[in-house]
Chain A
Amino acid sequence: MKKPVLEVNHLKTHFFTDRGEIPAVDDVSFHVNEGEVLGIVGESGCGKSVTSLSIMGLVPNPPGKIVGGEILFREQKGDKEAFEDLVKVKPKRLRQIRGNQVAMIFQEPMTSLDPLFTIGFQIIEALKNHMKLTKKEARKKAIELIQLVGIPRAEQIVDEYPHQLSGGMRQRVMIAIAMACDPEVLIADEPTTALDVTIQAQILDLMKKLNKEKGTAILMITHDLGVVAEMCDRVVVMYAGKVVEEGDVRTILKSPKHPYTKGLIQSLPKIHQREKRLYSIPGNVPKPGSIKTGCRFAARCSEVFDKCYEEDPNLLELSEGHSCRCFLYEKEGEVAHV
């Protein structure tokens, strides 16, 4: 049994705007085991990115703020294990952890590197923030990292600027920066969304390789079920700031329970079927906080009944490691998390 390295419990991240308090992440719990790839799936605006930024302590404040819950990160100190709550630690300690034990790569490789500094400088910066290295050692390590992420001509690239590289190359550099200090958890926020398909596959392969070779756990945030099928061991499905279904990747893709998950899978175009119109879930993700009572998916759900509009369903454990937030399964499931 693998042990969790990162545990998110009842996380609440709200945004305080002129139009009131908006719960972008509302009571979200999940965990990442050591060495596994956990996918967080959902449409745009369902709170995936805010969840990942909350873990890194990078939610723009103001207007955003973590108002509740805990983010436990496991620290190995010799034989002993201790959990540290990233919500409560001091900013200085958080800076020591991020980029070092928990690292992150972002959606937009084109704009995620500082245009005025060389690739080498930006990798070395990540190294020097957490390690004592001489100039020479740091440069050597930077070149090794560039090679690790599969960029040719590493010794020239190290002195080049971001604008001289393509999008795929830049995302590799981002991965090199994230991997600089051998993190235990790598958070990847839609790392391939902005890249074209062949490059996507290369980047995913690279991440898979790093996961296998270095044992880095990956928290993969995506809206692409293809990426999930390719990469993930377990999946968390989010809708409107809440977890609606969680389970291992086979269960979720083969026998999804929640109507939303079913809808997502049905919306995938199938290569062998000829359809006049692609399936899509009717409607849009509601604005966070706009639905006060009842299930948040009720308005778009194909299997909706009266109770859905009146009460908020709990997350029910259907089988070992598979849970779902839906009244349809009330009889078979037990209440998993209250």
Chain B
Amino acid sequence: MLAYTIRRILMLIPVLIGMSIVTFAIIHFIPGNPARVILGDQATATAIANLEAQLGLDQPPYIQYFHYVFDLLKGDLGTSLRTNTPIAAEIWPRLAATIELTVFAMIFAIVVGVNAGIISAWKQNSIFDYTAMIIALIGVSMPIFWLGLMQQWIFAQELGWLPAFGRGNPRDPVETTTHLYVIDTIINGRFDQLWTSIKHLVLPGIALGTIPMAIIARMTRSSMLEILRSDYIRTIEAKGSRTLSVIYRHGFKNAVIPVLTVAGLQTGSLLGGAILTETIFSWPGVGRYVYEAIGTRDYPVIQSGILVIAFMFVIINLIVDLLYSYIDPRIKY
């Protein structure tokens, strides 16, 4: 298992190199002179030359690439053209906000989706099954912005149970070390604020988690239906095992692989593209950050944003792969 893990991590190296080449190339795909495109038509020749020097565009491409990779290894993602601050310092709080929201959304999606799927399969063709699958169908087809707005209207405005915007109380900020508010509040012992940040996560988390929840529920159900009909489940029943053990311990463990695949893919895409949810709930995440950078043609930020999102995807895939081989002894690559 350990050897496999190490081998799997080493296999990431070529992926990371490929990723860096692609993101590096982005700036060179801009038609014409990138510096001119970035600065616009009115720019003076000096300004363009300065920017070229700043971006290192006056050097040969392979030198530029090595500089780029070397900077990356130092944790230097470059400087934002718009704010003139280092991107690494700017992007982490955004990324932390996205990670926090994604984790919450996926916990919701997995807990609700998996259990709904398991019970639906176990009680196939029951009222529960039909209801759960209709809800899942609605969940998959519902536009996320509409769901978000409805939630805000009902739970924030009409009922006043939950906050509709932001990550926490801005008038009473907690010292940020990790920028994951749930963890920061615990580190600082601010349990009142912990509760506030969790409350802020609920509505955007559910809005973001609804589609993955529905997909996971349907996937779990179909996977479980197949497993529950298998010979070994009958053997386990013949041993006199309790129903819960049959369904969860043996049934779900065997059914989990496709569910895990889907959950991994969903997590990856939430980490990168939750722009709608982030916009509706004023959530300062990485999706909106990159979106704004696109609007202002802040190429170094776009470049770094893509790199970071791709990196998260790679990490999620690694975790999913390692989980596969942990769950199923037959999987050895």
A binding-site residues for B, Cβ under 8 Å: 56, 58, 60, 62, 95-100, 103-104, 106, 108, 111-117, 125-126, 129-130, 161, 163, 174, 177-178, 180
Residues B231 and A100 in contact, CB atoms below 8 Å apart: no
* Other-chain residue from A100, A111, A113 in contact with B240 (beta carbon distance below 8 A): A100
Residues of B within 8 A of A (CB): 125, 229-232, 234-242, 245, 250, 253-254, 327-330
Q: Are A99 and B239 in contact (CB under 8 A)?
A: yes
Shortest Cβ gap from B332 to chain A (Å) = 11
Q: How far is the CA of A116 from the CA of B329 in the complex (A)?
A: 6
Contact of B241 among A111, A129, A178 (CB under 8 A): A129
Beta-carbon contact of B234 and A58 below 8 Å: yes
User: By the criterion CB–CB under 8 Å, are B240 and A98 in contact?
Assistant: yes
Query: Which A residues are in CB contact (< 8 Å) with B230?
Result: 111
Q: A58-B234, A115-B232 are in contact. Are A96 and B329 (CB under 8 A)?
A: no
Candidates B232, B240, B253, B328; contact of A130 at CB < 8 Å: B240
Q: If the complex has contacts A115-B328, A116-B254, are A125 and B232 also in contact, measured as CB distance less than 8 A? A: no
A96 to B241, CA, bound (A): 9
Cβ contact within 8 Å between A116 and B328? yes
Which residue of chain B lies nearest to A96 when distances are taken between CB atoms in the complex?
Answer: B240
A104 CB, nearest partner CB in chain B, Å: 5
Complex CA gap A113/B229 in Å reads 13
6 A/B residue pairs, CB under 8 Å, sorted by A: A95-B242, A111-B230, A114-B254, A125-B239, A126-B240, A129-B240
Contact at B231–A126, with CB atoms within 8 Å? no
Complex contacts, A98 vs chain B, CB 8 Å: 237-240
A97 to B238, CA, bound (A): 10
**A219 to nearest B CB, angstroms?**
13
Q: In the complex the two chains form, is A58's CB within 8 Å of B238's CB?
A: yes
Whether the pair B330, A115 counts as a contact (CB closer than 8 A) is: yes
What residue of chain A has the Cβ atom nearest to residue B124's Cβ? Answer: A62
| Residue numbers in B under 8 Å from A117 (CB-CB) | 250
Q: How far is the CA of A106 from the CA of B329 in the complex (A)?
A: 24
**In the assembled complex, which residues on chain B have CB atoms less than 8 Å from the CB atom of A106?**
231, 234-235, 238
Residues of B within 8 A of A96 (CB): 240
Q: A108-B231, A161-B329 in contact; A114/B250 too (CB < 8 A)?
A: yes
B236 with A114: CB separation less than 8 A: yes
By a CB distance below 8 angstroms, the chain B residues around A111 are 230-232
Q: Which residues of A contact B250 (CB under 8 A)?
A: 114, 116-117
- A25 CA / B327 CA spacing, docked (Å): 40
Q: Which residue of A lies closest to B233 (CB)?
A: A114
- Determine the chain A residues whose CB is within 8 A of the CB of B125 once the complex forms: 62
For B236, B241, B253, the residue with the greatest tally of chain A CB atoms inside 10 Å of its CB is B236
Q: Hey, which chain A residues are within 8 Å of B237, CB to CB?
A: 58, 98
With A115-B254, A116-B327 known, 7 other A-B pairs at CB within 8 A are A95-B242, A106-B238, A111-B230, A114-B232, A115-B328, A125-B239, A130-B240
- Smallest CB–CB gap between B172 and chain A, Å? 49
Q: How far is the CB of A59 from chain B (nearest CB, A)?
A: 11
Nearest A-chain residue to B229, judged by Cβ:
A60
Distance, CA A104 to CA B330, complexed state (A): 27
A111 closest partner in B (C-beta): B231
